[in-house]
């Protein structure tokens, strides 16, 4: 499922080897482990010279992307190994309304030196729709337990 401006949502394929399951690795220049604490409602921010490749390894959260003056809400969970690929210049943030932290890996692709403007909070043009966020996470959890 692709979103405008190059956002990509890529389900990972895996190969089973004995009791272990091996997932497709992501090429990167730098790999970060990211903790999104319980109760997080993050500001939007943008990267100018990097592509984020996010994979949840514990818990779940909702990635918020601002496009055409609308928010896109993308639920991500450890139960559904999926890469969210965010190119430079796309405002995005994280929401984790649950009581548990979410841990993800960011396989960063660099397109130049980090900018001093990276990670600066952007003003939200309008509030997040928390009903949508909670519904999406509930639906994702329902799929996992069904």
Task: Convert the pLDDT of each residue in 2-33 to its tens digit.
Answer: 444 568 999 998 888 888 888 888 899 999 99
List the structure tokens of 63: 């990635």
Q: Which fold would CATH assign to domain 4-114?
A: Jelly Rolls (2.60.120)
Taking all residues of the chain, what is their mean pLDDT, rounded to a whole number?
A: 90
pLDDT of residue 144: 61
Please list the residues that pair with 58 across neighbouring strands: 103
pLDDT of residue 86: 96
pLDDT of residue 106: 96
Residue 128 pLDDT class (50, 70, 90 cuts): very high
Contact at 8 Å (CB) between 55 and 104? yes
Burial of residue 113 (CB within 10 Å: 0-12, 13-18, 19+) is: exposed
Task: Convert the pLDDT of each residue in 36-69 to its tens digit.
Answer: 999 999 999 999 999 999 999 999 999 999 988 8
Question: Domain extents for the chain?
Answer: 4-114
pLDDT of residue 116: 84
CA geometry: angle 123, 127, 129, nearest 5 deg: 140
Q: What is the pTM of this model?
A: 0.88
Q: Give the number of other CB atoms < 10 A from CB of residue 98.
A: 17
Contact at 8 Å (CB) between 46 and 90? yes
H helix and E strand count, the chain: 1, 11
Task: Convert the pLDDT of each residue in 78-116 to its tens digit.
Answer: 999 999 999 999 999 999 999 999 999 999 999 998 888
pLDDT of residue 34: 96
pLDDT of residue 110: 94
């Amino acid at each position: 499922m692709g979103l405008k401006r190059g956002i990509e949502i890529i389900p990972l394929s895996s190969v089973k080897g004995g009791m272990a399951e091996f997932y497709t690795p992501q090429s990167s220049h730098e790999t970060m482990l990211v903790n999104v604490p319980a109760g997080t409602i993050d500001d939007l921010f943008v990267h100018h010279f990097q592509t984020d490749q996010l994979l949840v390894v514990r818990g779940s959260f909702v990635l918020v992307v601002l496009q055409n003056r609308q928010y896109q809400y993308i639920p991500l969970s450890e139960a559904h190994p999926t890469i969210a690929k965010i190119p430079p210049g796309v405002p995005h943030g994280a929401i984790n309304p649950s009581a548990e932290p979410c841990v993800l890996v960011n396989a960063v692709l660099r397109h130049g030196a980090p900018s001093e403007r990276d990670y600066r909070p952007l003003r939200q043009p309008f509030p997040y729709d928390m009903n949508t966020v909670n519904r999406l996470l509930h639906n994702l959890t329902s799929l996992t337990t069904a």
